[in-house]
Amino acid sequence: MTEGEGGRLSLAELVLGRWIDMGSLDGRVAVVTGGGRGIGRAIALELARWGADVVVSSRTRAQLESVVVEVEAIGRRGLAVVADALDREESKEPVRRAVSEFGSCDILINNVGGGASLRGSQEAFTHDDDVFEANLALNLTSAYWTTREALPHMRDAGYGRIINIGSGYAKRSGGALAYTSAKHGLIGFTRALAHDVASAGITVNCLCPGWTNTALVDWAAMGRAAGISAEEAHAWRAGENLQNRVLEPEELGPMAALLSAPESGGITGQVISVDGGYKV
């Protein structure tokens, strides 16, 4: 295998063992929730590079508009939709806007997640009920709401790619109780949904990052909780994968683009990690 004109072979090229045209997503419309920063931003930009028009959503307009500027600089259409994933109706708005303004919703990246902003105990013996339910809604139920809105459009088009963004804690213990429960549930949702929609030409997969350099990871706070410095906390988490490093958000983009492409039609119901070999 030789290198393409742009230099090193991409992850997608290596996985498929042949060249995939970076225009594989020409004419497709993607929705990326939580798309204003971090992993969501990285995936949105990679999908644009592959030819997709991209709708990004979150609660922060300034971040979204910045991503749209980057998408348009690549030469694709971008749209920012301010929406609160914890609100059932608002969580559906990015799909509705994609259909009304770009004509379809072919790809859905359920990326929104993290820790809900409600304050309260997350210790097992004293866990706050509202905090548990809010975290479950943010990391699992919101994916159902947005997906439910997208499915009829994908069915009618005979094409759909749904990618749920999981976590290293989606397959093992160690994270906060509600977050870990929700991410485990996301794998069940992925597999059950893949079973139900396969005949409609829709694939559903779960892409799991490990420790990744995003704004959601506060190394200083993590260090304080463990009685160590931020630098020591970073090194501690980096040491949990085989490559002894914390990944960058951009490393998730190529796999998300591959799973979104027509060439990946045989991949569904799978849990795929891009995590440097986290706790294998």
Catalytic residue list: 179
d(CA 49, CA 58): 21
The burial class, CB within 10 Å (0-12 / 13-18 / 19+), for 21 is exposed
Q: Which residues are bridge partners to 53 per DSSP?
A: 29
Residue 271: count of CB within 10 angstroms of its CB: 16
Which of 226, 203, 258, 241 minimizes the C-alpha distance to 46? 258
Residue 244, φ and ψ in degrees, nearest 5: 55, 50
Q: Which residues contact 109 (CB under 8 A, 6 or more apart)?
A: 30, 31, 32, 33, 35, 40, 43, 44, 47, 163, 165, 256, 260
